[in-house]
Amino acid sequence: MEYQTPGVYIREVDSGPKPIAAAATSIPGFLGLFEFKPKIDAIAITGSVGDQTVSGKLLPAVVDAKGAVKSTEAAVAALTEQFGLRRGKVKNLKTLLELNGHKVTFSKSDSGATKITSGKDASVEVSAEALSTAGVVTATDEKAVEALFNQVHTTFPLDKPQPRAAADLLAAYGIEYKSAEGTSLFDDYSVSPWPVTNKKEFFHWLQSFFAQYLVETESIEALVGKSITDPDDAADAVFDALTSDIALKGRFQDFLSQPSVFNFVSALQGFYDNGGGKAYVYLMGTKNLEGSIRGNEGVKSGLHAFDDAEDIALMAAPGTNAVQQKEVLEFCEIRRDRFAVLDGPIVSLGDMEIPASDKGYGAMYVPWVKITRPAWYTGAQEAGVTGPLRRKLSKTTKNEVYAPPSGFVCGVIARVDGERGVHKAPANEIVMGITGLSQSVNKIEQGQYNDRGINVIRDFRDRGIRIWGARTLATKSDASWKYVNVRRLFIMVEQSILAGSQWAVFEPNDQLLWTKLNRDVRAFLMRVWRNGALFGKTAEEAFFVKCDEESNPRYLIDAGQVNVSIGICPVKPAEFVVFSIGQWDGGASLNE
């Protein structure tokens, strides 16, 4: 600042540390599925070129389910776009000429060229190397074929074909028609995840979601008995009718009672019963409830619908199958900023297949829990357990139903994080809002589960039903990440430093920057240590931060990098508490 005029001036100065705030640790993203039967809004045309299958989708107004053309001009444009038809790809010129209304004959001219003649005495001669006397294109170079097309087009226009069926036009371009069938342009129904903070908000969202779904898939007149043009007003009308119209209210209850939807809803109830707060909820309609839930990254569906929710720290897909649970884990392993809470089978022996994990970004919990049957539930639940395992299933009473444990565990995690911190293992904690378990696992049986990194929920007489395990699915592959609280602590520290250090990007890479980064990270880790998350009598024993000339040699500075080395010593759960008791003449001696 330059001072030229006498007076008093104010200058703001940097106050020093830029505090790093701890990232959220217990906000989950819940994914649920429901059966969606999309309307036929497209006709899928399938063909082949040699061994290669090609396909495209056209509107029903253009072609029918048998491949017959309804609108010639639109069909030609759509087929051209979908199958990449262009001049250089013409394979059967005779067919294309006929489609354009030209009655021609092919013959060999005196000069050896291929002659094309019509009844109107119009003719054109082309190279015999490019076109046979059968009207088949023999040239292989695309530019040569395009030149042939242009040469013939001057005499016999080829730009307005009139095919009766999709197969006719495809044949001209060497594509063998195979089939046509009704399908949909969009195979799933997806609405962006929505944040909710309590049960009331969650059920309000469920009603809003169902109302929107009905408006987008059915006639508004059939739903509320009147025509409403504005989509928002239509959704509001259906939303209001869900509580007053008996038929719509029944449809809503039936929707919630679908097995896949009920698993989702009961998990969210369990989340809030156990102390959960903010959560992101997402329901995806799909034709195949057993199919992939990865979704499409481009349109943000499936698991990718949660890509933009950066404060999510937990992921759960309640009640989905083993393959889908594996996809949730892999999603978290790739992102490295959230932890997967997975449901195991409703009944098991501990030897079932489990998803592999290298770095412990997920944990699996068994068995399922029993809850009181909700008043709105109209379904007849089937556990789907057969064979010897059926004998291990703990039956429900007429007032009970099974629910997947992931939502309840997420609630326990949120409760423990709030009361103790992310460093406390979410284990030896009571699971609330349940009436029992789908299976009883005793101390001896749990050994196999624990050894493989599967956490068991157990019923202890006089102590309640508790989560009795704190291991990740990396127990066998990398023991350093075998504890849930260790992995979740690292996620919190990494994401906190990542978000809190953005100010340093494009700053001058010198000793002053290194000092500031050292200062800010040390201040943050000091708070983490004082909260009891790091092991050590002193801060020096608990963590270190290094950002100096040694960690930032000249070649890295020239590459635009600044490197900060951080090491932390996390506390680990006392999983096995052992008392050694021996005889002594004066009494008993106890050593912990």
Instruction: Assess whether 193 and 179 both reside in one domain.
Output: no
Q: Which residues of 43-61 are buried (b: 16+ CB within 10 A; e: fewer)?
A: bbbbbeeeeeebebebeee
Tokens of 235: 């959704």
| Domain boundary, last residue among 481, 516, 531 | 481
Instruction: Assess whether 452 and 529 both reside in one domain.
Output: no
CA dihedral for 82, 88, 94, 98, sign (positive or negative): positive
For position 225, what pLDDT does the model report? 86
Residue 380 lies in a domain: yes
For position 259, what pLDDT does the model report? 95
Bridge partner residues of 271 (DSSP): none
Instruction: Assess whether 292 and 363 both reside in one domain.
Output: yes
Question: Could you please report the per-residue DSSP string of 325-386?
Answer: HHHHHHHHHHH-SSEEEEE--SS--S-S-----SS--EEEEES-EEEEPPTT----------
Round to whole Å and give the CA distance between 279 and 568.
29
Which domain does 374 fall in, by range?
Answer: 188-481
Instruction: Assess whether 313 and 401 both reside in one domain.
Output: yes
Residue 79 lies in a domain: yes
Instruction: Assess whether 178 and 193 both reside in one domain.
Output: no
Do the Cβ atoms of 385 and 393 come closer than 8 Å? yes
For position 119, what pLDDT does the model report? 76
Instruction: Assess whether 113 and 193 both reside in one domain.
Output: no
For position 60, what pLDDT does the model report? 87
Instruction: Assess whether 160 and 255 both reside in one domain.
Output: no
pLDDT tens for the chain, residues 1 to 592: 678 889 898 888 777 778 899 999 999 999 999 999 887 778 899 999 988 999 998 888 899 988 999 989 999 999 999 999 988 999 999 999 999 999 999 999 888 899 999 876 788 999 998 999 999 999 989 999 999 999 999 999 999 999 999 999 999 999 999 999 888 767 789 999 999 999 999 999 999 999 999 998 888 988 888 888 888 999 999 999 998 899 999 999 999 999 999 999 999 999 999 999 999 999 999 989 999 999 988 889 999 999 999 999 999 999 999 999 999 999 999 999 999 999 999 999 988 999 999 999 999 999 999 999 999 999 888 888 888 889 899 999 999 999 999 999 999 999 999 999 999 999 999 999 999 999 999 999 999 999 999 999 999 999 999 999 999 999 999 999 999 999 999 999 999 999 999 999 999 999 999 999 999 999 999 999 999 999 999 999 999 999 999 999 999 999 999 999 999 999 998 878 888 887 766 655 544 3
Residue 88 lies in a domain: yes
**pTM higher than 0.95:** no
Instruction: Assess whether 16 and 81 both reside in one domain.
Output: no
Give the CA angle between residues 86, 92, 93 to the nearest 5°: 80
**Main-chain dihedrals φ then ψ at residue 440, nearest 5 degrees:** -100, 120
Instruction: Assess whether 403 and 276 both reside in one domain.
Output: yes
For position 35, what pLDDT does the model report? 94
For position 432, what pLDDT does the model report? 97
Instruction: Assess whether 511 and 368 both reside in one domain.
Output: no
Residue 389 lies in a domain: yes
CA distances from residue 75 to 56, 81, 87 in whole angstroms, order as listed = 12, 10, 17
Round to whole Å and give the CA distance between 80 and 172.
12
Give the CA angle between residues 348, 353, 356 to the nearest 5°: 135
Residue 262 lies in a domain: yes
For position 588, what pLDDT does the model report? 52
Number of domains in the chain: 3
Do the Cβ atoms of 438 and 402 come closer than 8 Å? yes
Around Cβ 267, how many Cβ atoms within 10 Å? 29
Residue 486 lies in a domain: no
Instruction: Assess whether 175 and 192 both reside in one domain.
Output: no
For position 590, what pLDDT does the model report? 46
Question: Could you please report the per-residue DSSP string of 116-177?
Answer: EEETTS-EEEE-TTTB-TTSBB---SHHHHHHHHHHHHTTS--S----SBHHHHHHHTT-EE
Residue 25 lies in a domain: no
| Domain boundary, last residue among 160, 183, 206 | 183
Round to whole Å and give the CA distance between 19 and 501.
9
| Domain boundary, last residue among 155, 183, 211 | 183
Instruction: Assess whether 135 and 68 both reside in one domain.
Output: yes
Round to whole Å and give the CA distance between 445 and 356.
22
**Main-chain dihedrals φ then ψ at residue 396, nearest 5 degrees:** -95, 155
The structure tokens 């919630």 sit at 256
Strands 339-343 and 314-316: parallel
Residue 428 lies in a domain: yes
